[in-house]
């Protein structure tokens, strides 16, 4: 609570400062943001739209307030979970894992629409991530959190991951852990996608160093410069250890997803 109060005092002070300097800004075009939001610290994530490369399956549009990502959630890599008549079907077996087993589902097209804040901001009250999609990657595949479906154990589900560390729930393919197809092709320090709050997700490396859970806050992120945002931005990292992508919930105000 103490921190929150300090933030509120800071915000009030900053609002006064803005008001005091207001005449200079009178000619600014209204960008549709609330009057009590300050733009100073806000970063425009729409600059990353072109990184969503698997354009057969994912498209990105944006307006002043929202980035809209539409995904049919179809991997551009091979998988044992594609139907056998799909050119991307490839059988797989994990010879070093005696507990390896295949899930019953096969990959099918989804119709996900993510509406995420173009200028993400920290949430006053951090919300848990939902079961099901909590974000979307640059090849259209959705990110799930560290929870298995009710009644299942996520550590056992690891045994069902395919050659690129994903698996389906029903016919909805997803990643819980590092999507190695992306980090192998784009780099371990690359931008990999967004969570629903608009904050970007990066791979497990930064400035040549492996990021561990100890480097990150409870939500599994931190604020620093990235190649895409040299002035700094809050961002998540995918780490090798549980909870992998997100920790205790969204750092920012979450957008919406329809499916
Ligand atoms: Zn899963
Ligand atoms: Zn970082």
CA of 174 to the centre of ligand 1 (A): 6
Residue 18: pLDDT band (50, 70, 90) is very low
Give the pair of three-digit tokens for residue 209: 């160093």
Rounded Cα gap, residues 217 and 220, in angstroms? 5
State what percent of residues in the chain have pLDDT above 70.
84
Mean pLDDT of 104-125: 97
pLDDT tens for 243-255 read 999 999 999 999 9
CA of 21 to the centre of ligand 1 (A): 51
Asked whether residue 142 is assigned to any structural domain, the reply reads yes
Total domains in the fold of the chain: 1
Rounded Cα gap, residues 250 and 253, in angstroms? 7
pLDDT tens for 220-229 read 999 999 999 9
Give the pair of three-digit tokens for residue 24: 């200079």
pLDDT of 16 higher than 50 = no
CA of 4 to the centre of ligand 2 (A): 24
Q: What is the mean pLDDT of the chain?
A: 89
Asked whether residue 21 is assigned to any structural domain, the reply reads no
What pLDDT score does 9 carry?
A: 47
Rounded Cα gap, residues 256 and 115, in angstroms? 5
Helix (H, G, I), strand (E, B) or coil at 7: helix
CA of 227 to the centre of ligand 1 (A): 30
Higher pLDDT, 29 or 194: 194
Asked whether residue 23 is assigned to any structural domain, the reply reads no
What pLDDT score does 27 carry?
A: 44
pLDDT tens for 65-105 read 999 999 999 999 999 999 999 999 999 988 889 999 999 99
Place of tokens 């990959």: 107
CA of 205 to the centre of ligand 2 (A): 8
Asked whether residue 5 is assigned to any structural domain, the reply reads no
Place of tokens 């096969």: 106
pLDDT tens for 138-189 read 999 999 999 988 888 999 999 999 999 999 999 999 999 999 999 999 999 9
What pLDDT score does 253 carry?
A: 98
List alpha helices for 149-219, DSSP H: 154-157, 180-186
Asked whether residue 134 is assigned to any structural domain, the reply reads yes
Mean pLDDT of 33-55: 78
List alpha helices for the chain, DSSP H: 2-20, 154-157, 180-186
Mean pLDDT of 100-122: 97
Range of the domain at 69: 44-258
Asked whether residue 62 is assigned to any structural domain, the reply reads yes
pLDDT of 2 higher than 80 = no
CA of 223 to the centre of ligand 2 (A): 7
């Amino acid at each position: 609570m103490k921190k929150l109060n300090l933030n509120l005092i800071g915000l009030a002070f900053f609002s006064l400062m803005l008001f005091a300097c207001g005449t200079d800004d009178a000619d600014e075009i209204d960008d549709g943001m609330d009057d009590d939001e300050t733009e100073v610290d806000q970063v425009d994530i729409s600059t990353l739209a072109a990184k969503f490369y698997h354009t057969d399956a994912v498209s990105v549009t944006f307006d002043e307030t929202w980035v809209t990502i539409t995904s049919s959630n179809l991997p551009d890599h091979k998988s044992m979970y594609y139907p056998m008549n799909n050119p991307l079907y490839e059988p797989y077996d994990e010879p070093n894992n005696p507990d390896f087993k295949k899930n019953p589902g096969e990959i099918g097209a989804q119709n996900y629409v993510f509406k995420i804040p173009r200028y993400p901001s920290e949430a006053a009250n951090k919300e848990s991530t939902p079961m099901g999609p909590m974000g979307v990657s640059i090849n259209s595949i959705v990110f799930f959190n560290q929870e298995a479906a009710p009644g299942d154990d996520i550590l056992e589900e690891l045994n069902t991951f395919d050659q690129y560390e994903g698996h389906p729930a029903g016919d909805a393919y997803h990643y819980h852990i590092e999507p190695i197809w992306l980090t192998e092709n784009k780099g371990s320090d690359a931008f990999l996608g967004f969570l629903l709050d608009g904050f970007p997700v990066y791979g497990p490396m930064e400035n040549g160093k492996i990021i561990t859970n100890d480097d990150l806050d409870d939500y599994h992120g931190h604020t620093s410069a990235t190649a895409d945002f040299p002035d700094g931005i809050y961002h998540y990292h995918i780490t090798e250890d549980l909870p992998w992508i997100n920790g205790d919930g969204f750092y920012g105000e979450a957008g919406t997803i329809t499916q």
